[in-house]
């Protein structure tokens, strides 16, 4: 369901690269339990990054046909199946049990259910939700009746987010509730993006976008309770949906103008490389942090000032989360082109 235009928009890759840095930053605070330092940076790293990742992944969705459907399943479902197999086998089972019938049954069940059945903390939650959102957009583009039906269901989801989160979220397969929740935001932003690229609408100047982004950020922060615990448990779309009802409109403008702001920024080759390979960076980020943090914290647990220790740990972990995936990508590209099926882009 990609666009017929083969020319890749490097601005979108640049945005994804910037969002990856937000994700790395958020995972540093979250994993290390030191989010009392600069809590606003973590809040906005989640509130901005995940919705914009969904927007970027769905900008070029076309009407569903057999060819587009197969391509999208290949791009999303195969990497999800491969990486979730490794994740499930590592966190849930002993390697000796992988060939058991029990493991196979529960793996297939979890795969279909979008990995919520066993691994609520999975870093891969967004892949099934992304595929569901792609399919919904593809279906909506077939005819207006499908668009109206999906929009109506989305509105029902938006006005009942808290109830769904408390009662149904882990029972809904493949992140369909997340996909429906984000459907209006993604559809509107995608349509605006294509209208602007056709030259039918002028781009906003950066000097206008920045004040709007600042104002909306302050409004979002003031509307909701400022308690850190509230935000940490509600802003991550992997677990909870935010916000519901008419506040969704404010959230839309917040995401849209952040997208405009990021799209207006100058392209940087390193960031576009991160964006092109965002899946691998995202997948490897949490395992690296979880393994590296105990090592670095033990190493730096000396007579240093505790704030300085935390800063050093974060810097080491942050740059390692970038360096190791780069080495992995380069190695895969040297070995074979077939690694594209698990999310590694070719040079």
Angle between helices 269-276 and 10-32 (to 10 degrees): 80
- CA gap 166, 158 in Å, rounded: 14
Boundaries of every domain in the chain: 10-80+120-268, 271-342
Residue 221 · residue 17 · CB < 8 Å: no
Please report, in tens digits, the pLDDT of each residue of the chain (347 residues total). 444 444 678 899 999 999 888 888 777 655 454 444 455 555 566 678 888 999 998 988 877 777 777 788 888 888 888 888 877 776 655 666 666 777 777 777 777 776 554 544 566 778 888 889 999 999 998 888 999 999 999 999 888 887 877 777 667 888 888 899 999 999 999 988 888 877 666 666 777 888 888 888 777 767 654 444 444 445 455 555 567 777 888 888 888 988 988 998 889 999 999 999 988 988 888 778 777 766 666 666 544 555 666 677 777 777 888 888 999 999 998 888 788 888 887 65
3-state helix, strand, coil in the chain (%, to 5): 75, 0, 25
- CA gap 298, 302 in Å, rounded: 8
pTM: 0.83
- CA gap 38, 22 in Å, rounded: 13
């Amino acid at each position: 369901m990609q666009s017929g235009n083969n020319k890749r928009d490097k601005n979108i890759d640049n945005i994804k690269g910037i969002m990856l840095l937000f994700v790395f930053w958020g995972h540093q605070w979250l994993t290390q339990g030191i989010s009392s330092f600069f809590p606003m940076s973590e809040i906005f790293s989640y509130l901005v990054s995940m919705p914009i990742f969904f927007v970027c992944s769905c900008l070029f969705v076309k009407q569903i046909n057999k060819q587009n459907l197969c391509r999208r399943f290949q791009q999303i479902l195969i990497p999800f199946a491969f990486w979730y197999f490794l994740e499930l086998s590592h966190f849930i089972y002993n390697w000796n049990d992988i060939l058991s019938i029990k493991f196979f049954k529960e793996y297939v069940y979890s795969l279909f259910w979008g990995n919520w059945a066993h691994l609520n903390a999975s870093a891969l939650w967004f892949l099934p939700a992304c595929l569901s959102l792609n399919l919904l957009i593809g279906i909506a583009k077939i005819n207006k009746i499908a668009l109206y039906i999906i929009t109506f269901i989305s509105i029902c989801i938006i006005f009942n987010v808290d109830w769904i989160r408390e009662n149904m979220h882990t029972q809904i397969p493949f992140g369909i509730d997340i996909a429906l929740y984000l459907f209006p935001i993604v559809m509107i932003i995608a349509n605006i993006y294509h209208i602007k690229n056709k030259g039918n609408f002028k781009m906003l100047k950066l000097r206008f976008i920045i004040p709007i982004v600042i104002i909306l950020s302050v409004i979002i922060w003031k509307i909701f309770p400022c308690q850190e615990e509230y935000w940490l448990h509600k802003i991550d779309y992997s677990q909870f949906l935010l916000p519901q009802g008419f506040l969704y409109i404010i959230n839309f403008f917040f995401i849209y103008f952040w997208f405009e702001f990021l799209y207006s920024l100058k392209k940087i080759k390193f960031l576009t490389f991160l964006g092109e390979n965002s899946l691998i960076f995202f997948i490897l980020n949490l395992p690296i942090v979880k393994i590296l943090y105990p090592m670095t914290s033990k190493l730096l647990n000396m007579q240093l000032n505790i704030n300085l220790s935390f800063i050093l740990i974060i810097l080491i972990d942050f740059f390692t989360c970038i360096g190791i995936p780069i080495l992995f990508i380069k190695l895969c590209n040297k070995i074979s082109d077939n690694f594209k099926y698990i999310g590694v882009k070719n040079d």
